[in-house]
Amino acid sequence: MSLGLFLFSVLGFTLIMHLIFVNVIIGAAVLTVSVRYLAYLRNDYYLEFLARRMFRILVIFDLFGGVWGTILTVYMGGFFPSMTAIFTKVYYYPVAIALTGILLSIPLIVMYWHLWGRISPRNHSLLGIPLAASILLVPIGFRYLFAGLNYPVGIMGSTDAVNPLLNPIYPPLIIHTILGGIDIGAFVIAAILATKSNLDVRGIRISLSVGVALLVPQAIAGAYYYVTLTEFDPYIANNISGPLLGARPELSFVYPLFYVAIILVAVLAILGTTALYQADKGIISRPIVISTGILSEVILVLMEFVNDGSRYPYLFMNGYSGTTINQLLNTVMPLPLYAIYGMIASTIAFTIIFSVVFYYGIIKHYLPETEE
């Protein structure tokens, strides 16, 4: 394996680990704020309790997501400094939007938790609006970087202003990202609630309802994104489509995973609908509900791998070619192999530690067994 492919793979792994948590953060934020507002409107104590549970999930996923985001930034700056420089200079405003969201969300999360019960339900519900907005600003900004990789507005001779609305890849990508995040968050919340000894039937039903309801809109957004890729990113689109859709892919390892992901989406739809139907009757099948959360994350991993891996050996695309990985490697101060191996070893170690702590925090002790 070449050094470029190796570092590209490491960066991709770190990105996927980051997105596993980020998508749940998006979903948990939107669901928490929505359920909290309904609790205020209906004066429903149970919905308020459910919102607190959802918010706890948001907090712990945000902690892990933030750590992986830091690792991703360090790797990107160390392995591909030229790409990092392009992002911070050419795509300054989208990066600024994302960083603004991060800086606002941290104090808002603290305020939202500590002011719960200390200010009026109306004011607390209204506080959720800037909280959710700040969290959504993060993918709204950073997803433009991915759109820029696929269709590099502002570089490669383009004279267009750097504006997310001018990049044709961006609208379908961000729509699919937000819908997907809410959908994944809903299924994961339902799965976590299903692990508790005192089953929260109503909470699981509410979460499953959101997850199942968004499957069709998310699929439409995904199709919209794919059609846009066929027009502006034919290299990526061909690698994703494969011969089954009449394409001639340059990479043979991408499209089989895309087909598998599509099949898993159908399986998720069946399992989610079945679990929701049972929940409406007051029956909760733990294995089915938990499998929807796991399956939604597996689909995310496959689809993100397909979306990012289909550009190899390029980073910035330009039709059927682009700027290769090797062109953007760190050549001014190349990292020695022992440093790279040390970074990989620490990443693996942290992955194991995170998995253990995450299981302990979420499954064993993080969610309360009784209402507070």
- Is residue 55 a part of any domain in this protein? yes
Dist CA 265 CA 277 (whole Å): 18
Please tell me which of 48-62, 205-219, 248-262 the model is most confident about, judged by mean pLDDT.
Answer: 205-219
- Is residue 304 a part of any domain in this protein? yes
- Is residue 291 a part of any domain in this protein? yes
* 269 phi, psi to nearest 5 deg: -60, -40
- Is residue 318 a part of any domain in this protein? yes
The mean predicted confidence, pLDDT, of the chain is 88
> Mind listing the pLDDT tens digit for each residue in 98-114?
999 999 999 999 999 99
79 — pLDDT class (breaks 50, 70, 90): confident
Q: What is the pLDDT of residue 345?
A: 82
- Is residue 98 a part of any domain in this protein? yes
> Mind listing the pLDDT tens digit for each residue in 197-235?
778 899 999 999 999 999 999 999 999 999 999 999 999
pTM: 0.91
Whether the Cβ atoms of residue 239 and residue 251 lie closer than 8 Å to each other:
yes
Dist CA 272 CA 267 (whole Å): 8
Residue type, 311: R
Tokens 């998006």: give the residue.
26
Q: What is the pLDDT of residue 163?
A: 56
71 — pLDDT class (breaks 50, 70, 90): confident
Q: Which of 284, 109, 63 is nearest to 193 (CA)?
A: 284
370 — pLDDT class (breaks 50, 70, 90): very low
Q: Structure tokens of 131? A: 């909280």
Dist CA 285 CA 311 (whole Å): 40
Q: Structure tokens of 365? A: 């002790």
> Mind listing the pLDDT tens digit for each residue in 317-328?
888 888 888 888
Q: What is the pLDDT of residue 10?
A: 87
Residue ranges making up the domain that contains 147: 3-366
Q: Which of 21, 303, 72, 292 is nearest to 176 (CA)?
A: 303
Number of other residues whose CB lies within 10 A of the CB of residue 359: 10
- Is residue 371 a part of any domain in this protein? no
Share of the chain above pLDDT 70, in %: 91
371 — pLDDT class (breaks 50, 70, 90): very low
Three-state DSSP at 324 gives: strand
Is the predicted pLDDT of residue 158 greater than 80, yes or no?
no
Whether the Cβ atoms of residue 205 and residue 289 lie closer than 8 Å to each other:
no
* Biggest distance spanned by C-alpha atoms of the chain: 64
- What kind and span of H or E run contains 254? none
Q: How many domains does the chain have?
A: 1
360 — pLDDT class (breaks 50, 70, 90): low
CB under 8 Å to 168, separation ≥6 — which residues?
151, 228, 231, 232
Q: Average pLDDT for residues 9-21, to the nearest whole number?
A: 90
Share of the chain above pLDDT 90, in %: 59
Q: What is the pLDDT of residue 34?
A: 97
Whether the Cβ atoms of residue 289 and residue 212 lie closer than 8 Å to each other:
no
- Is residue 186 a part of any domain in this protein? yes
- Is residue 20 a part of any domain in this protein? yes
Q: What is the pLDDT of residue 160?
A: 52
Whether the Cβ atoms of residue 47 and residue 164 lie closer than 8 Å to each other:
no
Q: What is the pLDDT of residue 359?
A: 67
